[in-house]
């Protein structure tokens, strides 16, 4: 459950690989030297890249730089989903296409990837279409299509930078604690009254030391993280045609008014509005 280095098997004569992993039941907190472009379609899920933690709704498109710790985007998904992952050798542009002026924007994109970048809007939609096409192409055409995707991302203003600073694995290597144990505890107890003292004892820290550690790792308090996890689970429950009050109590909130307030704060809309919007869309 501790952070793992992933060894990526890119075939000889290739500079990247495209595949569709399925790891929903496996906590995979990991890093690798390769850059990674991830597209996932699912009702809702967790986005944990470096120190950034948030949720996505419907779909997500994220570019992650070299050696940035991240959680598999399908972890804990309760509904059906589709995922396309592109893993690119660390020196993809610098070693293969050095000094070409037309690739300047792409070089800058890859530099910014050290912070993690999430794309939205028309950019995400167009990139998703091309990623679905790329799986059907031969080796050379895949490369051309991938360059088209990166050119699109490099020129887009429809993005969010996920971290404010470099969160590459060098900042995590000396960490002997296991984020997996924390996720595991929350996943099994989010619907109950979670106790920070229990999880602190579980990983061998005093409560005060655990709180400092958790805030340093995630830029969130443990309580804020649990509440965000609960709201994310509530989204999935609401989309299964469950009432707002039932969803509220199912994920561990004791106050319906507080649930409504927090849901609105974290998602930008109330739970009933959220539910109606999705039903109308489908």
- Altogether, the residues listed in the chain come to a count of 282
Model pTM score = 0.84
- Cβ proximity of 113 and 162 under 8 Å: no
pLDDT at residue 277, rounded to an integer:
78
Give pLDDT, residue 37: 98
Would you list the domain boundaries of the chain?
Answer: 4-161, 177-281
For position 102, what pLDDT does the model report? 82
Binned average pLDDT, 10 residues per bin, the chain of 282 residues: 83 90 90 96 89 90 95 88 94 74 89 96 97 91 95 97 84 63 88 90 90 87 93 88 92 95 93 80 56
pLDDT, position 169: 73
Which pLDDT belongs to residue 143? 92
Predicted local confidence at residue 244, as pLDDT = 94
Taking domain 4-161, whether its CATH number is 1.10.150.50 is answered by no
pLDDT of residue 93: 79
Architecture in CATH of 177-281 = Orthogonal Bundle (1.10)
Q: State the pLDDT at residue 241.
A: 77
């Amino acid at each position: 459950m501790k952070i793992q280095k992933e060894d990526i098997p890119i075939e000889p004569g290739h500079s990247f690989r495209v595949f569709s992993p399925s790891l929903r039941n496996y906590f995979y907190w990991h890093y690798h030297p390769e850059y990674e472009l991830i597209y996932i379609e699912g009702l809702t899920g967790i986005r944990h890249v470096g120190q950034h933690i948030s949720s996505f709704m419907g779909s997500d498109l994220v570019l992650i730089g070299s050696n940035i710790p991240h959680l598999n985007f399908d972890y804990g998904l309760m509904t059906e989903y589709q995922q396309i992952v592109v893993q690119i050798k660390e020196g993809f542009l610098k070693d293969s296409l050095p000094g070409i002026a037309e690739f300047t924007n792409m070089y800058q994109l890859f530099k910014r990837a050290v912070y993690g970048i999430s794309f939205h809007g028309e950019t995400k939609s167009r990139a998703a279409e091309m990623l679905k096409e790329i799986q059907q192409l031969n080796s050379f055409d895949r490369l051309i299509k991938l360059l088209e995707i990166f050119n699109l991302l490099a020129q887009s203003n429809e993005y969010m930078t996920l971290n404010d600073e470099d969160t590459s694995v060098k900042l995590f290597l000396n960490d002997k604690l296991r984020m997996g144990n924390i996720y595991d505890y929350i996943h099994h107890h989010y619907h109950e009254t979670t106790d920070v003292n229990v999880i602190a004892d579980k990983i061998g820290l005093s409560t005060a030391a655990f709180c400092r550690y958790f805030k340093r790792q995630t830029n969130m308090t443990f309580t804020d993280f649990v509440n965000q996890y609960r709201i994310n689970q509530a989204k999935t429950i609401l989309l299964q045609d469950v009432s707002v009050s039932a969803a509220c109590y199912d994920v561990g909130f004791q106050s319906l008014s507080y649930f409504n307030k927090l849901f609105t704060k974290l998602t930008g809309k109330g739970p009933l509005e959220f539910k109606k919007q999705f039903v109308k869309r489908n």
